[in-house]
Structure 1
Amino acid sequence: MTGFGGRLRSLRHAAGLTMDQLSEASGVSVRAISDMERGHSRTPQPRTLAALATALGLGDDEHRAFADSARELRMRTADARPRLCEPPREVADFVGRAAEIQRIAENTGRVVVVHGQPGVGKTALAVHAAARLRDEFTDGWLHLDLRGVDPEPLDPGEAARQLLRALDVSPRRIADSADERCSQVRAELGERRCLLVLDNAADEAQLRPLLPGAGGGMVLITSRRMLGGLEGVLRIGLGPLAPAESAGLLRAIADQAGDPAAAGQVDEVARLCGHLPLALRIAGTRLATRTAWTVGNLVDRLADADRRLAVLSTGDTGVAAAFALSHAQLSGEGRALFRRLAHVPGPDFAAPIVAVLAGSDPHDAEDRLDELVELGLLQADGADRYRFHDLIRLFAGERLKVEERPATRDATRQRMIRWLLGTTIVAGRWFEPGYGALPAGWTGFVPLASLEEAAFWLQTEAGNWLGALRQAGDDRLIVEVAEALHWFSDTMIGWPGWYEVFALSRDAAARLPDPRQRVVHLNYFSWAATCCAHRYDEGAEAARTAYALAVELGDLSEQSWAVQYEGHARRYAGHHEQALDAYSRALPLAEACGDHDSYVQVHLAVGQALRHLGRNAEALEQLRRTLHEIGRRPVSPRSALFVRSSGGVYIALALVDLGRLGEALTEGETAMTLTVEFGEPGMIGLAHLAIGLAHAGLGAVEQARDHLGRAVQLVHNRQNRDFAARRLAAL
């Protein structure tokens, strides 16, 4: 035999090597060497040629002659046969994905599945990673698009035919039946050190016949599905880019994005694109091809949510078109649920709200959710919650408008709002005096049989029930929801959403005929403005307005709360003497009307103000008197727990300031138990602060670091948090 194959065989014989020995020395498979010698394969790649030359011990002249024979073969076959399964062009501006590339590189002997939502950059990652690994695979790198989202994906038998031809198997040897061809592919791949990229896979059934067993090669699969039915594979879930990577991609594509003055606008474009590589690439291309545009022009176009998907389209590529390919694969029930999920007002959700939207059982809803997750149209968020990518949510909203009549859409939305707010009322009343239990005959999709379950639901679904409250359009319902949440709000004071909740109820109450409701919800709003939103002037103004209205009504209880809340606004703003003056006016009002909850909370506030004034001995006496008052008055249980836990924490802090560190540690540890029972994170953080300061003063550095570190994480008052951070740094 003449030519390259004959020369390789002659050189192997001259070196005294069998095919097995040459394979072991070079890293090139026995099958590949056999095919080269028999002229059944394409010209070897330069790295394969170099590996063979080294293993054969060729000198410079022999190496040149060997390379020349390979070059002659390449020239003869270049026009005779198209190269099949050639890898696509690698994008020059690829960014990020370092961790994913590292995982792929560490598993070169395995089948790796890269999965994720449409447009997340699965193919770009696979091609980029394969290009970095190509030198490790001496028998070549093949790429095959399985057309998994086409109406008719590539049949495994046809995929096998294309792969066998790309592997230079003689057409005469390729079997007629699909099963036999797939068997041939597995055998060929098992004997070669080849990197195979199976791009855009449809499902497990398409892939199983093609995957080889153990061998020296690697298979890298991309799919919108997780392909959970494949065993023994490494799965890498791909999410959107990190913000810095998104900005880097935009700068790599469009010169305008490289202007340092436009950095903030570049970040905004990345955010509006949801950090999705396809959207970023389209946005960057639109900017790059419109040299008169600034980044600000692009921001303006993307800011309109109704037009954003239209803007994210160029040429034959579009974000909506990519989503539509997955949407077309949904079942009828899956499509109905997908569009109705656009009604969900919050950023994430669980199966119960899905069941309400679908009009089904929660277990049936979970099956439909799994279908959406499998196709990359929905993201699993933890064990039992889900979220849309922002752009897919917009796409779902478009499908909702196209596929359902306005009356149907409105009926579904109202059903969701009623369920969310009705459940919120039931959960919130666990914390109200006079309730504290599940109402008789209540049935719902969520467990609310205890105060802990109620708190968990209210916290995790806050974005959804607040969104429903915004859309309620029923003043009486808004007021009822806010009333039910009043006592619960003390357990998550740091949540800024209370400002909006009680602003909505303040406005709704003002439109109702009951003037007392207006006063009550003005007071609630004053508390939220001061304690949650830190809008002290606004909180004080609302309290003064509430007081004036309460005087007109002769309502001493609401007068006492209004004056107390004005005192809070003064104290939070740092005007502690003014706060003490307000509290001194609130005490007799609360005493006169027998509002014991207001009375003990004013007592507590006086102690806090005294401590902030540095009058720690007086503060300590006042706080102990407060705890005594709880024991002699019929204070509601939740209010009593709040005052006992808060009072204990402030006693511990006063003792720290007085240098009585041993007592402070004892009081702080006792208070910690109560604050944990009450459940307000900020107060738990202050308990850690008191204990940490006591430990630091006593020389227990490690314990001090632990507690002060937790205080920094939990305290929501910036002044206290900064103080804790400074003390921690000092240690």
Structure 2
Amino acid sequence: MPEPTLGARLRALRHAAGLTLEQLAEASGISARAISDMERGHSRTPQARTLAALATALRADPDALGAGRETRTGGRPRQHDLPRAVADFVGREDELARVRAHAATAGPGPAPVVVVHGQGGLGKTALAVRAAGELAGAYPDGRFHVDLRGAGADPLPAGEALLRLLRALDVPPRRISGSDDERAAQLRDALRDRRCLLLLDNAADEAQVRPLLPGDGRCLTVITSRRALAGLEGVLRIALSPLAPEESAALLGRIAGQAADPAVAADVGRVAQLCGHLPLALRIAGTRLASRPAWTVENLVARLSDEDRRLANLTAGDTGVEAAFALSYAQLSAAGRALFRRLGHVPGGDFGLPLVAALTGDDPMEALDELEELGLLEAAGPERYRFHDLIRLFARDRLRREEPPGVRAAVRRQLAHRLLDTAIVAGRWFEPGYGAPPDGWTGLVPLPTQEDALTWLRLEAENWLGALRIAARAGDHQLVVDAAEAMHWYSDTTLSWTGWYEVYGLSRAAAARLPDRRQEVRHLNYLAWAAFTCAHRHEEGARLATAAHELAVELGDPREQAWALTYAASAWRRGGQPERALETYRRAAGIADRAGDHDSYVHGLQGVGLALHALGRHDAAVDAFRVVLAETARRPVAQRPALGAQTGAHAYAALALADAGRWPEALREAEIALRYAAEFREAGLLAVVHLVLGRAKRALGDAADARGDLTRALEFTEAGGFDEYERAARAELAALEC
């Protein structure tokens, strides 16, 4: 007599226990639909775990259901058929919490779907597998993985993926339809009463995954893709980003013992930075370090510091960062690949749409959307974009390999010239004697107002500085000098930017190669200013200014002599020599006065006030600043220098009054200074004004308003280079809390 089938044994045990399908489902945690399929013979090889749960609910011996005899074997997908989990997984806590929360929304309506998307190498699959592991208990009817091969040249057809899932769900082969639409319906029917987790890995597009999604029910589908799959409706999208610095360091430390030593934390941080905090890159770097016990983290830093070899060094066996990026690059259209390569010319970390258009000559939006969709480019703001650091290196590598050297050189130089042409016109908005662009001028962007010029110069600073480097390497010396010259008065709005030291280093070197030595002395002066103001190299600034003075004397140029002495005095004052500075400022002002250089004259007078303040002679300093204001009003000082002199005189007079304890006067002076500083918009002067306002209000008993001004002062010191004002503001705030 043949042995009863599993279905017959299960039905007999259920009837003997007096349970309905629904009651057994409730007791066992197995869906009523799955139990019904087993009893009818439509699911002949269930998992051993499923049979054990049913036997427990029926209070039967597990052998009575034949557990272990007819369970799935021989390569059929099982509940644990997921990719191998990453043992040293770190971070992604927020993303995992979002997956868990979305899974918990399952109910009678549409089954929840999560799309984890982002560029290659971010660890999308690792996150999805981690989430599946954490949620294992919630999906007793199976967790199934299908690699959809979407990043390659041969994506898995939807019909084949449906076939694999239907077989995994024990739908008999003879019942599986030959039509993709009918298979999709069968899959939805098979999943309706089950609690399964589907991991659809590496999806190509919406058309590939849409037929694979469950309908209503309690299943969870997690899709990973390089694309956002924006055409799918009602899904939770999780865009992955690189790891946080501390997570990157933790991952390296878990992989390689050398990187776990606290003594090499700085080098580990540098490795993480060079890897762009990309999990794939970090894992490869850590593996290379772990497999070479003789290496130190410093060795790894040295290898990765070579930009031309970095991608090659981020390869281990059959895994590599470059290979991961190449899969996305291969999916681009011809226009998308061309734009991607050309963007390798962009010097800075991010860039605006006009710069992109300059590389293409036509509307780049379609190609930009394509790059964004594949994670090869990311939005950095309205009509602004940026590359991940490693993807930028990959773009430059594609550029070298796929475009002729002559074409590359021509495009690079053309882009640099357009950037510098725009930078010159933007900078001249702040220069005496200039202003609005000349009639008929066409640059990368229109610059109808000084505000537009200011915005562009700040947003594109990395790019026009990169263009200046390109011009310097190409020997375009006059262009380098012209661009730096156009920035002279604009630079006063961004005193904390250390880039000015490089700008004027390049222009000084370029000017030295030109026949006009007056340009050389002027840019030597500018470099002296940048050395002590922006780079805080006071001794170097004084040395450069002294050399500029000697050259100016040789050339018989009293204007540059006056500026050189003013800069030397400023370097000495900042370097702790106020007496020497005071004498030199007075000498500089006298030379400027005799030369008729009114801008330099008021600048020197302001230095006198600053030196007196540094000497603790506060009342004398206030008087000196009053002279600055009177002379600025009396003389034909150019508009921008005049505004700078007025802002500084009021701000520093307020500071001197505060240091003298003349609080009502300090408050009134600071309120006047604020109006000028708001127009001049230099962070250091704004920090001074708000610091004085806060100090004066606190001294006069207005603690609430004082706290607001002191907080604003701190905000303006965040640009860097204003440690003295930051310490003072923090001390005042601390005193308010006492």
Instruction: Report the TM-score, using the length of structure 1 for normalisation.
Output: 0.94
> Contact conserved, 2:562 with 2:592, CA < 8 A, in 1?
yes
Q: Which residue of 1 aligns with 2:410?
A: 411
> Contact conserved, 1:156 with 1:182, CA < 8 A, in 2?
no
Q: Which residue of 2 aligns with 1:531?
A: 533
Deviation at 1:47, TM superposition (A): 6.8
Distance of 1:69 and 1:166 partners within structure 2: 25
1:676-691 to 2 correspondences below 5 Å: 676-691=678-693
Secondary structure class of the residue paired with 1:307 = helix
Distance of 2:87 and 2:45 partners within structure 1: 27
Instruction: Say if 2:147 is the partner of 1:148.
Output: no
1:155-170 to 2 correspondences below 5 Å: 155-170=157-172
Secondary structure class of the residue paired with 1:143 = strand
Distance of 2:21 and 2:605 partners within structure 1: 93
Deviation at 1:145, TM superposition (A): 0.8
1:100-249 to 2 correspondences below 5 Å: 100-108=95-103, 109=106, 110-249=112-251
| One-letter amino acid matched to 1:433 | P
Specify whether residues 478 and 499 from structure 1 end up closer, same or farther in structure 2 by C-alpha distance, changes over 3 A only: same
1:723 alignment partner, one of 728, 733, 738 = 728
> Contact conserved, 1:347 with 1:388, CA < 8 A, in 2?
yes
1:591-636 CA-partner distances (Å, limit 9, x unpaired):
1111111111222222222222221111112212211222111111
Q: Which residue of 2 aligns with 1:322?
A: 324
> Contact conserved, 2:122 with 2:242, CA < 8 A, in 1?
yes
| One-letter amino acid matched to 1:398 | D
> Contact conserved, 2:77 with 2:144, CA < 8 A, in 1?
no
| One-letter amino acid matched to 1:397 | R
> Contact conserved, 2:663 with 2:700, CA < 8 A, in 1?
yes
Q: Which residue of 2 aligns with 1:380?
A: 379
Deviation at 1:583, TM superposition (A): 0.8
Secondary structure class of the residue paired with 1:306 = helix
Distance of 2:142 and 2:671 partners within structure 1: 67
Secondary structure class of the residue paired with 1:533 = coil
Specify whether residues 544 and 184 from structure 1 end up closer, same or farther in structure 2 by C-alpha distance, changes over 3 A only: same
Q: Which residue of 1 aligns with 2:513?
A: 511
Structure 2: 5+ residue stretches without partners: 107-111
1:549-600 CA-partner distances (Å, limit 9, x unpaired):
2222222211111111111101111221111111110111111111111111
Q: Which residue of 2 aligns with 1:423?
A: 422
Deviation at 1:501, TM superposition (A): 0.4
After superposing the two structures, state which structure 1 stretch, 105-114 or 424-433, moved more.
105-114
Deviation at 1:53, TM superposition (A): 6.5
Q: Which residue of 1 aligns with 2:263?
A: 261
Q: Which residue of 2 aligns with 1:350?
A: 352
Distance of 1:313 and 1:50 partners within structure 2: 46
1:557 alignment partner, one of 547, 556, 559 = 559
1:46-99 CA-partner distances (Å, limit 9, x unpaired):
775676567x4x5xxx25x1x3445x3433344456226821111111111111
Distance of 1:245 and 1:554 partners within structure 2: 61
After superposing the two structures, state which structure 1 stretch, 677-686 or 116-125, moved more.
677-686
1:255-312 CA-partner distances (Å, limit 9, x unpaired):
3323343333322222222221111212222222233333333333322222222222
Q: Which residue of 2 aligns with 1:75?
A: 69
Distance of 2:216 and 2:685 partners within structure 1: 58
Q: Which residue of 2 aligns with 1:541?
A: 543
Distance of 2:604 and 2:303 partners within structure 1: 53
Secondary structure class of the residue paired with 1:494 = coil
Structure 1: 5+ residue stretches without partners: none
| One-letter amino acid matched to 1:448 | L
1:440-475 CA-partner distances (Å, limit 9, x unpaired):
101233231110010111001110111110110211
Distance of 2:649 and 2:576 partners within structure 1: 20
After superposing the two structures, state which structure 1 stretch, 84-93 or 369-378, moved more.
84-93
Q: Which residue of 1 aligns with 2:109?
A: none
Deviation at 1:238, TM superposition (A): 0.8
Distance of 2:531 and 2:44 partners within structure 1: 75
Distance of 1:300 and 1:587 partners within structure 2: 50
Deviation at 1:129, TM superposition (A): 1.0
Distance of 1:540 and 1:177 partners within structure 2: 83
Distance of 1:276 and 1:662 partners within structure 2: 56
Distance of 1:158 and 1:586 partners within structure 2: 84
Deviation at 1:706, TM superposition (A): 2.2
Specify whether residues 187 and 554 from structure 1 end up closer, same or farther in structure 2 by C-alpha distance, changes over 3 A only: same
Secondary structure class of the residue paired with 2:117 = strand
> Contact conserved, 1:203 with 1:225, CA < 8 A, in 2?
yes
1:334-392 CA-partner distances (Å, limit 9, x unpaired):
1111111111111111221122222x23xx22321221111111222223222222221
> Contact conserved, 1:47 with 1:135, CA < 8 A, in 2?
no
Q: Which residue of 2 aligns with 1:391?
A: 390
After superposing the two structures, state which structure 1 stretch, 459-468 or 167-176, moved more.
167-176
Distance of 1:48 and 1:679 partners within structure 2: 70
Specify whether residues 308 and 5 from structure 1 end up closer, same or farther in structure 2 by C-alpha distance, changes over 3 A only: same
Q: Which residue of 1 aligns with 2:93?
A: 98
Q: Which residue of 2 aligns with 1:444?
A: 443
1:301-333 CA-partner distances (Å, limit 9, x unpaired):
322222222222222211111111111101111
1:184-227 CA-partner distances (Å, limit 9, x unpaired):
22232333221111100001111222222332111111001111
Specify whether residues 602 and 166 from structure 1 end up closer, same or farther in structure 2 by C-alpha distance, changes over 3 A only: same
> Contact conserved, 1:547 with 1:563, CA < 8 A, in 2?
yes
Deviation at 1:37, TM superposition (A): 2.7
Q: How many residues align?
A: 720
1:232-260 CA-partner distances (Å, limit 9, x unpaired):
11111111112222222222222332334
Specify whether residues 12 and 695 from structure 1 end up closer, same or farther in structure 2 by C-alpha distance, changes over 3 A only: farther
| One-letter amino acid matched to 1:685 | A
> Contact conserved, 1:3 with 1:69, CA < 8 A, in 2?
no
1:493-532 CA-partner distances (Å, limit 9, x unpaired):
1000000101111111111111211111111111111111
1:634 alignment partner, one of 627, 633, 636 = 636
Deviation at 1:23, TM superposition (A): 3.9
Q: Which residue of 2 aligns with 1:466?
A: 465
Specify whether residues 574 and 9 from structure 1 end up closer, same or farther in structure 2 by C-alpha distance, changes over 3 A only: farther
| One-letter amino acid matched to 2:561 | Q
Secondary structure class of the residue paired with 1:200 = strand
Secondary structure class of the residue paired with 2:238 = strand
After superposing the two structures, state which structure 1 stretch, 705-714 or 109-118, moved more.
705-714
Instruction: Report the TM-score, using the length of structure 2 for normalisation.
Output: 0.93
Specify whether residues 614 and 9 from structure 1 end up closer, same or farther in structure 2 by C-alpha distance, changes over 3 A only: farther
> Contact conserved, 2:422 with 2:444, CA < 8 A, in 1?
no
Distance of 2:576 and 2:638 partners within structure 1: 30
| One-letter amino acid matched to 2:467 | A
> Contact conserved, 2:72 with 2:78, CA < 8 A, in 1?
no
1:85-129 CA-partner distances (Å, limit 9, x unpaired):
821111111111111111111111321111111111000010011
RMSD: 2.1
Distance of 1:573 and 1:51 partners within structure 2: 79
Distance of 1:96 and 1:79 partners within structure 2: 35
Secondary structure class of the residue paired with 1:169 = coil
Specify whether residues 8 and 75 from structure 1 end up closer, same or farther in structure 2 by C-alpha distance, changes over 3 A only: closer
Secondary structure class of the residue paired with 2:524 = helix
| One-letter amino acid matched to 2:69 | M
| One-letter amino acid matched to 1:547 | H
> Contact conserved, 1:84 with 1:162, CA < 8 A, in 2?
no
1:668-707 to 2 correspondences below 5 Å: 668-707=670-709
1:7-46 to 2 correspondences below 5 Å: 7-23=9-25, 27-41=29-43
| One-letter amino acid matched to 1:347 | G
Specify whether residues 42 and 413 from structure 1 end up closer, same or farther in structure 2 by C-alpha distance, changes over 3 A only: farther
